[in-house]
Amino acid sequence: MEKENDKICEAKNPPPNVSTNLALHFLHEWRSVRHHPSKQVANSDSQNVVLTWKKPQHGIVKLNINASIFIEQGLFGACLVLCGGEGNFYCNKNHEGIRNNKAKRSQVLFFHDIIYNGSNAANATSAIVAAPEGANLTKLASQFHFGNIVVFDDPVTLDNNLHSNQVGRAQGSYIYDTKNTFTAWLGFTFVLNSTDHRGTITLAGADPTLKKTRDVSVIGGTGDFFMHRGIATIMTDAFEGQVYFRLRVDVKFYECW
């Protein structure tokens, strides 16, 4: 029965037809043992082995899960099988997928943040939602903004022009979490919805804003960026006091599906 785990234990990567034949072989073994528990079944190497599949206890339901990924062919699949206490089949669920041909290795995006100051509600794209005791929610705190939490829903463009066509939104928050310098923890998602790309890219990490460039982690994605991971280099491209800033985000994907 060791061959079932060859791809994991021995780092083998057989083509899909070999894996399919192997799966059918094990299905035959399972059926044989189910109906003849004491029977010996020859495996694919023509060696006699005693299979030890056992029925679950009465009232117990077994869920078997199998999955395969074929990197070179760009295919993946998964199957869930639910069986009863007597080995009787209840139901199954299959899923097949094809590798995303739109996968990209890099993407440069700009997002524009206009913080609410009490008089710009029509144009504001972010707002202070928490502040130190005694501070207000229309102006960042004086001591390196420590204790402020800001949530944002910022427009995203492909260049540094606020009035360019939007390709999506940057949605998330930043937390000023250092008392002796300007540093924030940044966590947000690019929600892209353009003719070129649809999906999300999620980023998180420390943002020491006084540095020219900062790196944060790309921790996942959906849609055209399904299962993407990597590093994003952030640069403050422009700012106007405490009301407006623009970030340039250079995303490098090191893992793409």
DSSP class of residue 56?
Answer: P
**Residues 81 and 115 grouped into a single domain:** no
Residue at which a domain ends, from 78, 98, 118 = 98
More confident residue, 244 or 55: 244
**Residues 133 and 178 grouped into a single domain:** yes
Convert the pLDDT of each residue in 20-74 to its tens digit: 666 666 666 666 655 665 554 445 444 454 545 566 667 777 777 777 666 555 5
Residue at which a domain ends, from 70, 98, 126 = 98
Pick the closest to residue 3 from 72, 17, 67, 21 (CA basis): 21
Binning pLDDT at 50, 70 and 90, where does residue 161 land? very high
- The strand ranges marked E within 84-228 are 89-98, 106-114, 126-130, 149-157, 168-176, 183-193, 198-208, 213-223
Give the global pTM.
0.62
| pLDDT at position 70 | 65
Pick the closest to residue 192 from 164, 160, 217, 158 (CA basis): 158
The Cα–Cα gap between 69 and 131 comes to 48
9: pLDDT strictly greater than 50: no
| pLDDT at position 60 | 74
| Tally of domains within the chain | 2
**Residues 93 and 111 grouped into a single domain:** no
**Residues 93 and 115 grouped into a single domain:** no
Query: What percent of the chain stands above pLDDT 70?
Result: 65
Residue at which a domain ends, from 47, 76, 98 = 98
Amino acid present at 45: D
| pLDDT at position 46 | 43
At 171, list the tokens: 């949605």
**Residues 227 and 133 grouped into a single domain:** yes
Q: Which residues of 83-100 are buried (b: 16+ CB within 10 A; e: fewer)?
A: beeebeeeeeeeeeeebb
Domain of residue 236, residue span: 106-255
| pLDDT at position 11 | 47
